[in-house]
Amino acid sequence: MHRSYFPRNNCRPNPSLKLQKFHVQAAAPMRLVRTAALSRLRLRPLRNVTHTNVQWPALISRRQCASCADTAASPVTPSLDKTTQTPPIPPADHRAIAIDQDLFVTSALSPGSPLFLPNGAHVFNKLLSFLRAQYKQFGFQEVITPTIYKRSLWEQSGHWENYKDDMFEVSGRGASGQAKDAEIGEDEEYGLKPMNCPGHCLLFKSQRKTYRELPVRYADFSPLHRNEISGALSGLTRVRRFHQDDAHIFCRPSQISEEISKTLEFVAVVYKTFNLGPFKLCLSTRPEDHYIGTVEDWERAEEQLKEALDRSGREWSVNEGDGAFYGPKIDIILKDSDGKEHQTATIQLDMQLPQRFQLEYQAPAPELEQKGILTTDKSLLEQSGPVTPVIIHRAIFGSLERFMALLIEHYNGRWPFWLSPRQAIILTVGKGNGVDEYAEEAQRITSGIGPSLPEGKVAPLPMDTAQFLVDIDQSDRPLGKKISEAKRKKYNTIIVVGKRSVEENTLELDVTAQPNQQVTQSALADILGSENAIGNGRSVKLSRDQVYDYFSRVSSAYA
């Protein structure tokens, strides 16, 4: 480093550490007149940093400057080696991002039960809508079941014996003596449901079924409650009240393999949409204790899951003894931004609950049907009787709250448009000339609400109308500050409205923040023509109806 970078006084450092051909004493105070030579300097992070004001030498007419000193550090080692690694960036934390994007809060008055703000509710509901759309092509029917059941149901299912410690118990009024004319011995102990399977068994049993109607696939988004230890609660990843994309497939024994293969395909389709992966498949086998059914039933169920995993063509591993108390399962494992693994999707094979609830369907050759053997022998087919179905427990997201936490960290707050809680914002420039009125009308049209209607003429919107989140900033602040704030908040689309917009009846869009630029360019090319799609590469002018069309195209592409 050239000597002219240091002031000429007695504070010239003594030799200690090499900076090119100049030596610096790390312990001595160092003052620089020009800092350009430090552009390639790499220092390790300082500890116990203190700040002081430094008076420049009298020969130099400068203001006081700030200096910092590492008072408890070992000798600082400057390095010009480009291979020197800088401190790692801390991994994304969904709790911090949630604060910045107004997604959810927690309360000590309801530990482990997140309270979703409007932005978080938007993301949550989009995830539900996405799954509901997929249910149609994979043959699932959505049902709604109670949150609370009597103790006798949980005893029948085996949960009271094997899962009671993780359940919330509730007492009815009869048990407390507050209900009039309560019968002696009346069952007034209840439990909040930790899972949906017993309720779905009640639904299946309520209607007579034949083999032609199977498989029956019930899906449920009802809230679940599990009594997690308070010290283990954390954001959205470990909660007490949560939602599962819970489904149960009631099928014939001969349909097990096909249904599991379809479910694995469902998992792959969903995770590809969110650009998640690679994920791991893990087979969890019979626990050493706290299980129901015979060892032979468990071994047969485990063998069928192994066959399905082999046919999937994916690598899989075995987690001995980690199965559910009613059957073995396939767990799908994802890593978060910190490298921590989370179990998300699950596929569980259950031959016990159907027996406990005495579920049955009518089929020819019932003995062979129960073993999963199909026959064409007419003499056997003439005989018909009851057969016990098999249940496949299935969740694709697993806990929606946990899956949402993984997505928050996966996208690091920069959501794809279709899922984003901040899809677009309109920024006005100047006042008068009808700018505010034009911007407000543009907000209605681009969000899907439609143009303003006279009082008394408002009609219900069609249920299939796509609607988008379009905010508006009509403050008097400079446009540059508005744009900076919109980018900091990670809006996917920034729309500027000014006097020229009103005159030209257009909107100017900045779409550079949209993560999937390929889909963005394709949508704009379809609307404007490929030769005029992007203009200067940063913004594009569209009519209000064209903006809505653009939003619809990008959203339908899950981009």
The full 3-state SS of 421-484, as one line of letters, equals: CCCEEEEECCCCCCHHHHHHHHHHHHHCCCCCCCCCCCCCCCCCCCCCCEEEECCCCCHHHHHH
> Which of 310, 322, 258, 247 has the alpha carbon at shortest distance from 286?
322
CA angle 357, 363, 365 (to 5 degrees): 115
Percent helix, strand and coil across the chain, each rounded to 5? 35, 25, 45
For the question of residue 226 being annotated catalytic, the response is: yes
The alpha helices in 17-163, defined as continuous H runs, are 94-100, 118-138, 151-157, 159-162
For the question of residue 244 being annotated catalytic, the response is: yes
The C-alpha atoms of residue 336 and residue 255 are separated, in whole angstroms, by 34
The C-alpha atoms of residue 14 and residue 492 are separated, in whole angstroms, by 54
Place of tokens 């007034």: 188
For the question of residue 342 being annotated catalytic, the response is: no
Q: Which helix (H) or strand (E) holds 19?
A: strand 17-19
- Give the list of residues 6+ apart from residue 282 with CB closer than 8 angstroms, or none: 316, 317, 318, 319, 330, 331, 332, 333
| Contact between residue 104 and residue 233 where contact means Cβ atoms under 8 Å apart | no
> Which of 266, 259, 413, 400 has the alpha carbon at shortest distance from 342?
400
Name the catalytic one among 31, 159, 193, 248.
248
Which tokens belong to 191?
Answer: 């439990």
The alpha helices in 460-540, defined as continuous H runs, are 479-488, 499-504, 517-528
Which tokens belong to 125?
Answer: 């509901």
| Contact between residue 542 and residue 501 where contact means Cβ atoms under 8 Å apart | no
The C-alpha atoms of residue 482 and residue 525 are separated, in whole angstroms, by 28
For the question of residue 248 being annotated catalytic, the response is: yes
Name the catalytic one among 244, 352, 423, 443.
244
> Distance of CA 429 to CAs 433, 481, 483, Å?
11, 12, 11
Which amino acid does the sequence have at 154? W
The C-alpha atoms of residue 204 and residue 350 are separated, in whole angstroms, by 15
Name the catalytic one among 200, 217, 225, 246.
246
For the question of residue 197 being annotated catalytic, the response is: yes
Burial class (CB in 10 A: 0-12, 13-18, 19+), 361: buried
| Contact between residue 359 and residue 214 where contact means Cβ atoms under 8 Å apart | no
For the question of residue 225 being annotated catalytic, the response is: no
Enter the DSSP assignment of 156.
Answer: H
Which tokens belong to 128?
Answer: 């539900």
Q: What's the residue count for the chain?
A: 559
Name the catalytic one among 197, 201, 251, 282.
197
Name the catalytic one among 159, 225, 241, 329.
329
C-alpha atoms less than 13 angstroms from C-alpha of 313 in its C-beta half-sphere: 2
The C-alpha atoms of residue 260 and residue 321 are separated, in whole angstroms, by 21
Name the catalytic one among 31, 122, 209, 226.
226
For the question of residue 134 being annotated catalytic, the response is: no
Catalytically active residues are: 197, 226, 244, 246, 248, 329, 393
